[in-house]
Amino acid sequence: MEFCFADRTANMNGTATREIFKLLSRPEIISFAGGLPATEALPVKELKEICGELLSASDAYKLLQYGTTEGYPPLADAVIQTVKEFGVCAERENVLVISGGQQGIDLMCKSFLNAGDTVLVENPTYLAALQIFNSYEAKAVGIRADAYGIDVADLEAKIKLHKPKFVYLVPTFSNPTGKTYSEKNRKEIAFVTAKYGIPVLEDDPYARLRFSGEKVNALYSFAQSDNVVYLASFSKILSPGLRVGGAVGNPDIIRKMAICKQGTDLHTSLLAQAIAAEYCRRGLLKRSVEDSLPLYASRKKAMMRGIEKYMPSEFVHTNPEGGLFVWGEFDGCDINTAELLHRAVERNVAYIQGSVFYADGSGKNTIRLNFSNASEEKIDEGMKALGEFFKEEISRAKN
């Protein structure tokens, strides 16, 4: 039977994401393609204990009932405490518990976007956000960026030209680049977007995964009006499988997002919220994040060593102070990393082609590498395979 799907689904393209998950499931592949937190950082023992205790309580049934859309109050309080660390001040009316940061992006779109609207994004940006904008029939327009953040002159010019509904940014340990905007850049973005009354969606799942350098406060903390919505997530610091996060912002926006959330999932799983809240209440979040940072730092260093040892000299790359990703470009090389991916996989190593992170599909000679989910030995082995592969491809392209 031929199904008559909605027109807006015609341009939805999940191919790249599907490809990533297929690759991850083959055991012989050393995959730098995903974005998973380290298996060792997932607190199985602690959550088993917490689940047992929560479900042994005499009123445990309440956690198996329906709950309010706004969220389980102890978890909303835990979100308020967590975001304070980055200068984000919030009361309960500013908080909506969400089923992961991904839902926050979706609800922001559901609340603001009409078909044909424009969203400004950093070029490159989070692939799945681009897919969500696409699903709302909105157009993503890229803003130029450098090592310190986005080009604010370009941002202002594109605000004037495109009159965007909002600006979407990942200012700390960005996915895909691993880059962090400077404080100066955050202040300038806050100033320009307030000047034109443009909302900003600050997506911040990685800020707590800092293993070196100085903390930078959230863009939200520098906001000159109430135009910034901040997304926090427990996925990378506790467990992505729990699907718990928080959106923080102006109460009018938060209320609108809550109404939109009702149609999506009524509320985030109460049991998952209670588990996350109890994990925080016991002080385990701070401890487990601190414990996981040396692991991430040493894996990032292993990747840097692998790049120095094996990658071609044309490979120009970031050296992040946190997060999960390294980003690189084969400077001046006429290669297409999307076309080459299947051949790399034949050598049992995977990366993500950088072009999928560009609003305009450019970045043909770029790649994203994830360092969090493989041992140091595997990182060395994988980078050796990848380095040899790209050296061959680059010399082929030159001849």
Residue nearest to ligand PLP (CB): 100
When asked if residue 37 is in the footprint of ligand PLP (CB under 6 A), the reply is no
Nearer to ligand PLP, 151 or 203 (CB): 203
When asked if residue 178 is in the footprint of ligand PLP (CB under 6 A), the reply is no
Segment 268 to 307, residues that bind ligand PLP, using CB under 6 A: none
Q: Six-digit token pair at 359? A: 């609003």
Stretch of 60-68, 96-104, 161-169, 358-366 lying at the interface with ligand PLP (CB under 6 A): 96-104
Place of tokens 């909506």: 96
When asked if residue 240 is in the footprint of ligand PLP (CB under 6 A), the reply is yes
The 3-class secondary structure across the chain, one letter per residue, is CCCCCCHHHCCCCCHHHHHHHHHHCCCCCEECCCCCCCHHHCCHHHHHHHHHHHHHCCCHHHHHCCCCCCCCHHHHHHHHHHHHCCCCCCCHHHEEEECCHHHHHHHHHHHHCCCCCEEEEECCCCHHHHHHHHHCCCEEEEECEECCEECHHHHHHHHHHHCCCEEEECCCCCCCCCCCCCHHHHHHHHHHHHHCCCCEEEECCCCCCECCCCCCCCHHHHCCCCCEEEEEECCCCCCHHHCCEEEECCHHHHHHHHHHHHHHHCCCCHHHHHHHHHHHHCCHHHHHHHHHHHHHHHHHHHHHHHHHHHCCCCEEECCCCECCEEEEEECCCCCCHHHHHHHHHHCCEECEEHHHHCCCCCCCCEEEEECCCCCHHHHHHHHHHHHHHHHHHHHHHHC
When asked if residue 101 is in the footprint of ligand PLP (CB under 6 A), the reply is yes
Stretch of 47-55, 98-106, 115-123, 369-377 lying at the interface with ligand PLP (CB under 6 A): 98-106
When asked if residue 41 is in the footprint of ligand PLP (CB under 6 A), the reply is no
Nearer to ligand PLP, 17 or 348 (CB): 17
Stretch of 97-105, 108-116, 339-347, 379-387 lying at the interface with ligand PLP (CB under 6 A): 97-105
Query: Is 338:380 a contact under the CB 8 Å cutoff?
Result: no
Nearer to ligand PLP, 241 or 332 (CB): 241
When asked if residue 35 is in the footprint of ligand PLP (CB under 6 A), the reply is yes
When asked if residue 235 is in the footprint of ligand PLP (CB under 6 A), the reply is yes
How many binding residues for ligand PLP (CB under 6 A)? Answer: 13
Q: Least distance in Å: CB of 133 to ligand PLP?
A: 13
| Binding residue for ligand PLP, selected from 131, 221, 227, 233, defined by CB under 6 A | 233
Write the interaction track for ligand PLP spanning residues 115-154; mark x where CB under 6 A is met and - where it is not: -----------x----------------------------
Q: Six-digit token pair at 230? A: 């901040």
Stretch of 55-63, 94-102, 193-201, 288-296 lying at the interface with ligand PLP (CB under 6 A): 94-102
When asked if residue 221 is in the footprint of ligand PLP (CB under 6 A), the reply is no
Q: Six-digit token pair at 7? A: 């027109």
When asked if residue 205 is in the footprint of ligand PLP (CB under 6 A), the reply is yes
Nearer to ligand PLP, 311 or 359 (CB): 359
When asked if residue 170 is in the footprint of ligand PLP (CB under 6 A), the reply is yes
When asked if residue 312 is in the footprint of ligand PLP (CB under 6 A), the reply is no
Neighbours of 103 (CB within 10 A): 26
The single-letter code of the amino acid at 130 is: L
When asked if residue 102 is in the footprint of ligand PLP (CB under 6 A), the reply is yes
Nearer to ligand PLP, 124 or 245 (CB): 245
Rounded to whole angstroms, the Cα distance separating 259 from 110 reads 10
DSSP-assigned beta bridge partners for residue 168 = 121, 201
Stretch of 25-33, 100-108, 328-336, 339-347 lying at the interface with ligand PLP (CB under 6 A): 100-108
Nearer to ligand PLP, 100 or 164 (CB): 100
When asked if residue 72 is in the footprint of ligand PLP (CB under 6 A), the reply is no
**Site of interaction with ligand PLP (CB under 6 A):** 35, 100-102, 126, 170, 175, 203, 205, 233, 235, 240, 245
